[in-house]
Amino acid sequence: MIALSLSEIARAVGGELRLHGDATPETTVSGDVDTDSRAIGAGGVFVAKPGEVTDGHLFVGRAVAQGAVLALVERIVDEPVTQIVVPDVVRAIADLAREVVARVRALGALQVVGITGSNGKTTTKNMLATILREEGETVAPVGSYNNAVGAPLTMLRVTESTRYLVCEFGADASGQIARLAGLVTPDVGVVLMVGMAHAGGFGGIEATVRAKSELVSAIRPGGTAVLNADDARVAGMASIARERGLAVRWFGESESADVRAAELDVTASGTHSVVTAAGERLPLHLRVLGGHHIKNALAAATAAMALGVRFSDAIARLETVELAERWRMQVMGSDRVRIINDAYNASPDSMQAALRTLAQITGEGERMVAVLGAMSELGEHAVDEHNKIGLLAVRLRIPRIVVVGQEARALYLAAVAEGSWNDEAVFFADADAAYDYLAGELRDGDRVLVKSSNSAGLRFLGDRLGESFS
């Protein structure tokens, strides 16, 4: 965080300053800000966030021992540290992030990119950050820091020398993206796609469209909206951009896209394509597994070009990206038994893409194995969407379908009804039982996809399998 006095921080968050020791209102603080006491370092700011399981106020002492010099709290804690008392610490870090970004922006060099979409946010964020780091100091989220806590914590990492801030905006209800994007008013806003992810929370697909379009509405005047030309729901957001006088740049496979890909060839080593932009055609070998990630690469390149990066530089840097993120199409195991651990998140769209990738990369003499868990936050659509995945798995002729967890049982039943008999589809109530089965079932030449939402916990099953067959 940039250096601010204690009084400046208190004003920014609207809190009551309670000094300790030698601290005065003019004492400056410039350490990292975090809600995890274990991550606090010397000079840090600890945010005592109440949680569902525990309460950050219980860990202020630990944060002080780690070097914290300031705690944001909702009630005074009997610990030897200066504290700022606020009604809501989550709102406080958002207010502090707005202040910090505004001050750095005023210096004239900082440019901000916001990314949203039902799928692909984290992958695109990592790709874009890889491109931009060669241009100047870049701050981007760690993992999927895209919610009301993670996004502001990322913003607070900017310094006076930061040239690019890449923000990832997730949401499971309307208004959330507007609030987060409103903290930084991005220069460039990227909308990847609109799908069924979180549809239960939003109340349906049309509500999801409106929620994702909040990013376009938050782009600063004179900015650029980067939109998916292949997604009609995203394409419709161009009208919002134009009404606001924003530039619109398109990515996709459509001939109308400003940055487009063609001649896709999906293999076990990545996806080959030819990308066209600004009258130039360049080959791209994307090492991140799965043809669906080409769209994310195009989005990253388009956003980078909107910031002034040369097309050829963007493509060259994309080719250095080997892994989207841990647990996202992460290749594990060995050539003998390859495990693809993609169980950090799952939606109907990403589940379909992962299954199709499994089919595309499995060669002659090799066997496809799909280990599938629940897709969360689908609300009333859950049974229908799990049914569709079960049908797709059978129609892709996947000979071994392993379904894990009661919330995914509809997927198993649909696979059986579609014709996956004689133990081609099996069901297990938990990951331990599934592991015991797979440990004895997998054989040389198997290509194994592990896919589920984070809440299903199959990412750890994928890790166990990867270690066992390494």
Q: How far apart are CA 45 and CA 335, in angstroms?
A: 46
Question: What residue type is 250 in one-letter code?
Answer: W
Q: How far apart are CA 33 and CA 102, in angstroms?
A: 17
Whether 146 contacts 137, CB under 8 Å: no
Pairing outcome for strands 111-116 and 188-191: parallel
Q: Is 263 exposed, middle or buried (0-12, 13-18, 19+ CB in 10 A)?
A: exposed
Pairing outcome for strands 33-34 and 82-85: unpaired
Q: How far apart are CA 107 and CA 110, in angstroms?
A: 8
Q: Which residue has the tokens 């525990």?
A: 54
Residue 63, H or E segment: helix 60-66
Whether 98 contacts 1, CB under 8 Å: no
Whether 127 contacts 300, CB under 8 Å: yes
Whether 449 contacts 358, CB under 8 Å: yes
Could you tell me the two tokens for 361?
Answer: 């990369």
Q: Tell me the binding residues for ATP.
A: 117-123
Q: Tell me the binding residues.
A: 117-123
